[in-house]
Structure 1
Amino acid sequence: MTTTGDDFWVFGYGSLMWRPGFDFIERTQAFVHGYHRSLCVFSHVHRGTPEAPGLVLGLDYGGSCHGVAFRVAGAARAETLAYLRARELVTSVYVERMVGLRLPCGGATRALTFVVDRAHEQYAGRLPIEEMARLVARGVGASGANPDYVRNTYEHLRQLEVHDSALAEIVRRLKASNDTEPAAERRSA
């Protein structure tokens, strides 16, 4: 991997993995230590509303996280930062951070990412799995349905051979709910 002094890295752990929305030179799996992926953010815009919040991922303190790193050309820095800030800082529940990044080739660098602000009113913390599944099942916002977001992230992690037990359980519950819905509709008809 050749990196010029002007290139920079962006770390994605949720929808950025499968929908970055910016140009990049390189995409690779990566690992961050000191933070973990968690469905810990009440979504008031992208996957829910203030009246009916969805639940989205945040990079929360502690543990570690496998995700995707994107190397961005230095010439695209200003445009990429403006795009990411508009996308991620809409309600200020995330804080922009530079974090240490381990690359699969054994190299290390620093990357821009967005971590959850635990003091923000949208920080959900650690919710029971039943509550997470309920919020995800009903959430719809400007970027679409919350279940689609969770399924897309889960499937992308599976392609990377990364297991996330919380996402796996929520996807299982969403599928079980969808499988029983037609039968319930038939019974009420």
Structure 2
Amino acid sequence: MPSQAQVWRDVQARLASGQGFWVYAYGSLIWKPAFEPLQALPARVWGHHRALRMRSLRDRGTPQRPGLVFALLPGGCCTGVVQRVPDDQAEAVFETLWQREMEGSPYRPHWLRARTGNGPVSALGFTLPGQSERHARELGEAELLDILRHACGRHGSTLDYLLDTARALQQHGIHDPQVQALVAMARRHGLHRADAGR
């Protein structure tokens, strides 16, 4: 796996060549970015797909009751958002991103070729290896519902994370059938965000 120093050298090379530093957002980075993007464009990558399959032991759950967050898993394709980092903020943004996405997590950094309406860009994305012990594999509806009902960590519940991601995708005009199916399942069973009705 590339080290932090190696990935930073890649960022510097892209800045020097005029390509810019882009980040690929597919989950919480869409609705809670680590910086104010110069541009944010819908973009599709091939070779990875978004799935609510990474066990969260801190942010959206606990070791005793793990939650789930979205991950980029091998295979298929995914439509997310590429975010352009201001050149003069590149180092600070990179440090923030690395701490947020890599410390204590099983993610691996990759340069993903993302297709946008303005052409392709190379964007830094954080992916989950299929063999990771944090990969939840296939979950049945009963287990998913139990997690959505009860799992909560330092940043809130798995349910709120799902609903926030679904809303952000919709705001960017991105339709993900699997995300919408999860939201529909939660609604069928009367699940609502924690602050609903307040």
Normalising TM by the smaller chain, what interval? Answer: 0.7 to 0.9
**Post-superposition CA distance 1:148-168 (Å, at most 9, x none):** 110011122222333323322
Equivalent residues in 2 for 1:135-174 (5 A)?
A: 135-174=147-186
Distance in 2, Cα, partners of 1:40 & 1:155: 19
User: 39, 56, 61: which one pairs with 2:69?
Assistant: 56
Shift of 1:179: 6.5
1:120 aligns with 2:128: no
Shift of 1:67: 0.6
TM-score, scaled to structure 1: 0.85
- Quote the residue 1:75 is aligned against: 88
Shift of 1:103: 1.1
Equivalent residues in 2 for 1:84-95 (5 A)?
A: 84-95=97-108
Distance in 1, Cα, partners of 2:169 & 2:142: 22
What is the number of residues matched between the two proteins? 177
8 Å CA contact 1:30–1:101 kept in 2: the answer is yes
Shift of 1:135: 1.6
Distance in 1, Cα, partners of 2:173 & 2:19: 31
**Post-superposition CA distance 1:110-154 (Å, at most 9, x none):** 000100123322111232343223223211111111111100111
Letter in 2 for 1:35: H
Where structure 1 has 5 or more consecutive residues not aligned to the other structure, the ranges are 181-189
Distance in 2, Cα, partners of 1:137 & 1:110: 38
Distance in 1, Cα, partners of 2:191 & 2:167: 19
Distance in 1, Cα, partners of 2:149 & 2:103: 23
Q: Could you say what secondary structure the match of 1:178 adopts?
A: coil
1:42 aligns with 2:55: yes
- Quote the residue 1:96 is aligned against: 109
Shift of 1:58: 0.2
8 Å CA contact 1:133–1:170 kept in 2: the answer is no
Q: Percent identity?
A: 33
* Aligned CA-pair RMSD: 2.0
- Quote the residue 2:4 is aligned against: none
Q: Could you say what secondary structure the match of 1:122 adopts?
A: coil
Shift of 1:37: 0.4
Distance in 2, Cα, partners of 1:129 & 1:97: 31
Q: Could you say what secondary structure the match of 1:149 adopts?
A: helix
Shift of 1:70: 0.4
8 Å CA contact 1:95–1:116 kept in 2: the answer is yes
Shift of 1:63: 0.7
Q: Could you say what secondary structure the match of 2:189 adopts?
A: helix
1:131 aligns with 2:134: no
Distance in 1, Cα, partners of 2:67 & 2:33: 21
